[in-house]
């Protein structure tokens, strides 16, 4: 009997991925259906439904669920089930008009052309995109990468249950790192774990991440270093490079029996607090009892306060999630303490000054962030030894040296510390 938390809103996982002969028969039938192209975000959402990561969803949301999720975090079609971000599929008006309610359509990834699934169209509807953006992202500014994608959606949303036919390139490209919720749960059960803390990663693992992971291990049976394998914004570091960095840290600086590495196929929305809640939902499906929520979780730019993702867990309905947040304060290296510390533990408040050679000159707190690390490396600047382990820096330097075109990395307040606690 498993001692792990149950999946979200269900006694068991509900993967929608067909297998074996059933999948081959459905794949053949799908070849005869009208084709609906999917964006990379829609494709990643479909795969998450396929592997059970979005349990208990059975397809793309209709209008009432879209509106309920935006406004109240709730899905009317599932007795008010808590859900933080709409999971929708869009199509051009001309294509939508050609599809009858009740008709099955083939879902095709628009970038690769791969047949991904079949949707039974139960509803066609339009949405107020600005309404969704204001509620989910707290902004309608199209400089925000998540807002930009919503505003670029086609005119009509298609809703209904899905059958999933493919996990795309993830199993082949990432091997055992790519895990379904059932696979992760089996690993945790085999280790006898009942409490598991998930560490969300979209950046290479620097010393603050390692510190948070080790704090979590002190209060849980183990930590699940769970990194995003889906599409990121320009300038972010690709998953295959991040994997090398994490392996270097785990192999050299952790007790391996307390750490599991995994990857999931979702695309970042950069929705800050709302995305932290989505991370909590599917981490519960993966068997995690806790989610490490640090500074500016899933944020981008200066759209969110550094601890807004902490606050939102106190604002959702009581009992909405079985998973609990591990709210971690701003962490940094303190030269006066001589170790990693946080704002809850360190009394030294001056900001550290680093010279052009990466050496400490004065001050106490060296604030660490993935954005700042990417900027230093992309510009060929020295990285202070307190920022990240040498094995990680070496991997990243090799990656940046091989780039033919580099994206300018812009620092923002949440990355530099030039913000006040809200």
Which residues are catalytic, by number?
202-203
d(C-alpha 322, C-alpha 280), whole Å: 9
Residues forming beta bridges with residue 97, ordered by sequence position: none
β-strand pairing of 35-38 with 59-60? unpaired
User: How many angstroms separate the Cα of 155 from the Cα of each of 91, 150, 288?
Assistant: 6, 11, 37
Quick count: other Cβ atoms within 10 Å of Cβ 318? 6
Return the sign of the alpha-carbon dihedral for residues 148, 149, 154, 157. Answer: negative
What does the block give as tokens for 55?
């349990």
Question: Where does residue 90 rank: exposed (0-12), middle (13-18), buried (19+ CB within 10 A)?
Answer: buried
d(C-alpha 385, C-alpha 255), whole Å: 22
Q: Which residues of 374-410 are buried (b: 16+ CB within 10 A; e: fewer)?
A: bbbbbeeeebbebbbbebbbebbeebbeeeeeeeebe
Is residue 297 within 8 A of residue 369, CB to CB? The reply is no
Helix axes 390-401, 239-253, angle to 10 degrees: 160
- For 324-390, the DSSP string reads EEEE---EEEETTTTEEEETTT----PBPEE-TTS-EEE-SEEE--HHHHHHHHHTT----TTTS-H
């Amino acid at each position: 009997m498993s001692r792990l938390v149950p999946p979200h809103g269900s006694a068991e996982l509900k993967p929608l991925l067909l297998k074996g002969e059933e999948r081959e028969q459905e794949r053949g039938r799908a070849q005869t259906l009208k084709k609906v192209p999917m964006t990379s975000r829609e494709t990643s959402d479909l795969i998450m439904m396929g592997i059970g990561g979005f349990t208990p969803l059975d397809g793309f949301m209709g209008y009432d669920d879209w509106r309920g999720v935006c406004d109240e975090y709730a899905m009317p079609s599932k007795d008010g089930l808590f859900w933080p971000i709409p999971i929708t599929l869009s199509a051009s008006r001309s294509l939508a008009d050609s599809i009858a309610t009740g008709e099955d359509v083939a879902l095709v990834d628009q970038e690769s052309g791969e047949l991904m699934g079949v949707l039974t169209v139960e509803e066609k509807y339009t949405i107020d995109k600005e309404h969704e953006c204001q509620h989910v992202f707290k902004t309608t500014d199209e400089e925000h990468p998540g807002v930009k994608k919503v505003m670029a959606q086609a005119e009509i949303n298609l809703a209904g249950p899905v059958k999933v036919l493919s996990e795309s390139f993830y199993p082949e490209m990432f091997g055992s790192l790519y895990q379904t919720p059932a696979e992760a749960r089996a690993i945790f059960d085999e280790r006898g774990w009942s409490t598991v803390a998930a560490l969300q990663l979209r950046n290479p693992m620097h010393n603050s991440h390692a510190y948070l992971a080790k704090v979590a291990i002190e209060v849980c049976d183990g930590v699940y270093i769970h990194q995003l394998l889906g599409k990121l914004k320009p300038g972010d570091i690709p998953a295959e490079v991040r994997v090398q960095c994490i392996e270097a840290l785990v192999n050299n600086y952790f007790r391996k029996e307390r750490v599991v590495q995994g990857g999931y196929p979702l695309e970042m929305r950069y929705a800050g607090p709302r995305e932290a809640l989505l991370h909590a939902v599917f981490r519960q499906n993966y068997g995690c009892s806790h989610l490490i929520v640090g500074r500016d979780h899933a944020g981008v730019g200066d759209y969110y306060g550094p601890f807004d993702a902490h606050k939102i867990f106190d604002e959702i309905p009581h009992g909405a999630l079985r998973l609990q947040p591990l709210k971690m304060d701003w962490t940094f290296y303190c030269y006066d303490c001589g170790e990693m510390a946080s704002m809850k533990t360190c009394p030294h408040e001056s900001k550290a000054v680093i010279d052009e050679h990466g050496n400490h000159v004065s001050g106490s707190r060296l604030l660490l962030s993935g954005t700042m690390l990417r900027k230093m490396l992309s510009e060929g600047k020295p990285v202070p030894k307190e920022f990240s382990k040498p094995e990680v820096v070496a991997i990243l330097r090799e990656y940046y040296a091989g780039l033919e075109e580099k994206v300018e990395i812009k620092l923002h307040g949440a990355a530099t510390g030039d913000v006040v606690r809200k």
